[in-house]
Amino acid sequence: MKRFRIGRTLAVAGILLAAPWMTIRAEETPKVSVPGLEKATFAGGCFWCMQHPFDELDGIVSTAPGYTGGRKENPSYKEVSAGGTGHAEAVEILYDPKKISYGKLLGVFWRNVDPTAADHQFCDYGDPYRSEIFYHNEDQKRLAEQSRAAIERSKSFKEPIVTKITPASAFYRAEEYHQDYYKKNPVRYKFYRHNCGRDQRLKELWGE
């Protein structure tokens, strides 16, 4: 069962009412290999909030909120958020490994999620809001597993870490109104983030 607090509900409703012409269905990102660049895919609850911290990093070429890890092709936001498709809200990152390492991306990922929360993150409940690392090759898998083990050794969380590490599958770029939402709608974004208790919980977990 999924539960929203009012912040995200009003934010989504507001942008939809303001722009009814926007795309209503996601599209799979093309499987294009750019020489010298690599992909990373992370799920950590609301993809608006996961896109923002990665955009702040040097070496990031692009980020895109979307849906992955599910069964239905080209799912819509409504379908994913209702549950039942198996998808997680996620962010796909294209980065230059000569400028930033996958290990650095993992460090940013962990400090932006609650790794002890199963099938939810902060105020968003349901399987689409799980935390998960989707690896694109065996090296990413190894580094992800090592990072999770290091956190288990170094942090004294009350609950076990439940973040999954899973092979990457089809990634469907979310509807245009979700792209760069924190830039397009900064007031609604901050309102949602605060009311969701995201930063408060992250500080409690990571002390930052």
Q: Catalytic site residues? A: 46
Which run of H or of E encompasses 166? strand 164-167
Which letter, b or e, does each residue of 123-153 get, where b requires 16 or more Cβ atoms within 10 Å of its Cβ? bbbbbbbbbbbbbeeeebbebbeebbeebee
CA nearest neighbour of 172 among 88, 83, 60: 88
DSSP 77-140: HHHHHHS-S--EEEEEEEE-TTTS-HHHHHHHHHTTS-TT-SSEETTEESGGG-EEEEESSHHH
Phi, psi at 119, each rounded to 5°: 60, 30
